Structure 1
Amino acid sequence: MRETKQYLKNFVGTNYEIGQKIGEWVKSDSKLIKQVLLPPDSYPKDKYQKIKTLLEEFCPGINDEIKGFSDTLTIEPHQVLFYAMTYLERGCSLMALLPSKTEDGHTLLARNYDFSDEMEEMCFAYTDIKGKYNYIGSTLNLFGRSDGMNECGLSVCKASNGLPVGNFEGGQKAGVTGFSFWIVVRSILENCKNIEEAIELVMQMPIAYNLSLMLADKSGKIAIMQCIDGHKEYKIADENIEEGFLSCTNHALLEKIKPYEKILIENSVIRNNHIIQTFSNEQIISENKIKELLSTPYPDGLCCHYYKDFFGTLRGAIFNTTKESVQVAFGAPDVNKWHTFKVEPLKERSIKVSLLDKKAPREFYRTI
């Protein structure tokens, strides 16, 4: 067992002011500063201008945020790794339940997020940008988001479809040009108040990452959207669907997307089957039942400890859109406690997170 830190931060003000605050935080952490910067003049200027223009269209203000960050660190904005990681050129488990399926009649969205703590800043933040919806959620590459809930109760979580796509060693090359997922999630949280607006935005965005999004809002609706190589499909569910829930892990489920799938990993099928069986076997599902599912180690549940293999659970979360609250376990839920948050300023601090390193069994990445 080893320990790492989870940071709780508040980012309030104009985009530029928030960028300055992020810069002051990064300056104080020598390990973090090495993770987020590129050498001078290493990123092509033509690509830098393209991603700046594209970001301003779909996530306006973020360039000002990065400018505030770079001014604070006295570097050029194009040295910020976020630009190179976000503009792509050619493990997680998600579930959402309708009010009719939950114990208290609330709409719930839940997830386990699996990756490596060495490639994340481990920050959960409240963000209040002037002119945008306020929201809480997990940051990624400082300026992106991987999940969250905004002041309207709209919640969104993400999972990869197949192997992760990205400009990093071992990453799958993008099939089209466009955004990585962390801009998609952030843009939804800042600009959309319900599922319909989120779907409309996502269908317009150029997305190079192969992803699944699970969404829920205060109206009692839930939705899934999947994208592979720029091909997109979505499904919005309300009280008319008999099952009462949607689920997704790391493979294509929607019919129009399945033909574009390149790889199907067995553990993804096993994890999704666990969700389906758990929710189908009981007429009503409680939040404690969801926690049990998120906390049970694989192969009997969804929790994983394979951090060195980039498949360790960094957080489990349950978003209650009716109560507008989020329960989060930082690190694997079977060895870390749950915390409850609202969409409001956080008590800034760091939380000790226990990580139990295990070696993934050889058959874990077996393909079907």
Structure 2
Amino acid sequence: MEEIQAAIIQARGSAYKIGKKTAAAYTENPILQQFSQLSSQRTKYEEIKALFSNYAPHLLDELQGLADGLGKTQQEAAILYSGYNMPRPQALGCSAYVDQYHYVRNYDFSPSLYDHCLSFIAPEEAYGSIGYNLQLIGRHDGVNEKGLTIGLHFVSNQGYRKGLSAWTVLRIALDTCETTQQVIDLFKELPHAACYNFSVGDAKGTHAVIEVTPEKVCVLSSRAGLNCVNHFKHSDLEALNRQDMTSSAKREKFLLNTKTSTMSQQELFDLFSDPASPLFFEDYNRLFGTLHTFAYSFKTKQLMTALSRGKRLELNIEDWFTGNNFKVDKLYGEIKKEPIPEG
């Protein structure tokens, strides 16, 4: 087994202050070098500034805080961390279940391409949120102070074009939306770079799977619970799925045959986080290993999360958003890594 860690950031105040505190947590994080290699230097800062000014101007202030904290210009920080005009992402997994009571999901990928950071933020200019960082300001998944919960699920690079990464649009949604319908409306406006699913639920009990492509947005809704994996189900978008959907289809079949609607939050969390579960994966060398589980109850406002094989962090989000920090500064877990075959 190999230890895995995630730093916990707790930051309140201006977006600039939050950016600077985030920078301090990343100073020695090797992921910074990864993003330096990935980001396109052909990206024009003016395009990023115009887009963010329209939809999330406070993120420009956060990027300025990041820039000052990391010794970069704002233009450099925006190009590196805005999630705009990024190279095509590699295939990754993610499974989720959402209904009017619960949201639960796993994030599956490689630890070497993981921010190893969980942020609790309360900016003055936007809704506060709790979520796992991706490319510093982006999020894999999260819940905001209004109880809106959302996670991303990669589908394919079909029709890939210049636009925002899924983790940036997810962050903008957490910062600016209160309901599932508001997320749907927002996603119909934003320029998306790739094909992704988003599993979404809100405090009013409305939930949906939003299927997003660079050209079109489709919505799957139901009064019953919804499963979300890594392929499109809307007939208009099926042609954009990856050629090999074996794993995604297998996970969906398992969820369909499991009585998830009768489970408690604890039972759902265990279903996703148990290493013996069909939803838990350990193929880390092939970019498909479970890194964290994230679960939220819309009724009790209880958050549960843990890294792979790690101790669960559990809290009522209202307690944190009313100003009560906690003393945990890291999450710990373990991953089972097999040696990479030679030749």
Q: State yes or no: 1:313 paired with 2:290.
A: yes
- What SS class does the counterpart of residue 353 from structure 1 fall into? strand
| Partners of 2:267 and 2:120 in 1: CA distance | 27
- What SS class does the counterpart of residue 193 from structure 2 fall into? coil
Contact 1:92 1:111 in 2 (8 A): yes
- Once superposed, which parts of structure 1, at least 4 consecutive aligned residues long, lie more than 4 Å away? none
Unaligned runs of 5+ in 1: 99-106, 163-171, 239-243, 361-368
User: Which residue is equivalent to 1:247?
Assistant: 227
| Partners of 1:63 and 1:113 in 2: CA distance | 27
User: Which residue is equivalent to 1:301?
Assistant: 278
- What SS class does the counterpart of residue 204 from structure 1 fall into? coil
| Partners of 1:9 and 1:236 in 2: CA distance | 34
Contact 2:106 2:292 in 1 (8 A): yes
User: Which residue is equivalent to 1:103?
Assistant: none
Deviation at 1:254, TM superposition (A): 1.9
| Partners of 1:342 and 1:36 in 2: CA distance | 33
User: Which residue is equivalent to 1:227?
Assistant: 212
Contact 2:306 2:333 in 1 (8 A): no
Deviation at 1:17, TM superposition (A): 1.4
| Partners of 1:173 and 1:196 in 2: CA distance | 26
| Partners of 1:31 and 1:88 in 2: CA distance | 19
Contact 1:22 1:69 in 2 (8 A): yes
Distance 1:269 1:347, change over 3 A: same
Deviation at 1:230, TM superposition (A): 2.7
Unaligned runs of 5+ in 2: none
User: Which residue is equivalent to 2:30?
Assistant: 31
Q: State yes or no: 1:342 paired with 2:316.
A: yes
Deviation at 1:131, TM superposition (A): 2.4
| Partners of 1:270 and 1:30 in 2: CA distance | 35
TM-score, scaled relative to structure 2: 0.87
- What SS class does the counterpart of residue 211 from structure 1 fall into? strand
| Partners of 1:148 and 1:214 in 2: CA distance | 11
| Partners of 2:150 and 2:85 in 1: CA distance | 21
| Partners of 2:61 and 2:238 in 1: CA distance | 39
User: Which residue is equivalent to 2:332?
Assistant: 352
Distance 1:323 1:84, change over 3 A: closer
Distance 1:154 1:329, change over 3 A: same
Contact 1:136 1:149 in 2 (8 A): yes
User: Which residue is equivalent to 1:47?
Assistant: 44
User: Which residue is equivalent to 2:253?
Assistant: 273
- What SS class does the counterpart of residue 197 from structure 1 fall into? helix
* One-letter amino acid of the counterpart of residue 12, structure 1: R
Deviation at 1:262, TM superposition (A): 4.1
Contact 2:310 2:331 in 1 (8 A): no
| Partners of 2:326 and 2:194 in 1: CA distance | 31
Q: State yes or no: 1:149 paired with 2:143.
A: yes
Distance 1:254 1:359, change over 3 A: farther
Matches within 5 A, 1:23-102: 23-27=23-27, 29=28, 31-37=30-36, 43-44=41-42, 47-80=44-77, 82-83=80-81, 85-88=83-86, 91-98=93-100
| Partners of 1:261 and 1:173 in 2: CA distance | 8
Give the paired residue count.
330
Q: State yes or no: 1:4 paired with 2:4.
A: yes
**Sequence identity percentage:** 24
Deviation at 1:336, TM superposition (A): 2.1
User: Which residue is equivalent to 1:122?
Assistant: 116
1:183-218 CA-partner distances (Å, limit 9, x unpaired): 111111111111111111111111112111111111
Deviation at 1:341, TM superposition (A): 2.8
1:253-296 CA-partner distances (Å, limit 9, x unpaired): 122221332424201100111111003xx762233432342135
Contact 2:212 2:218 in 1 (8 A): yes
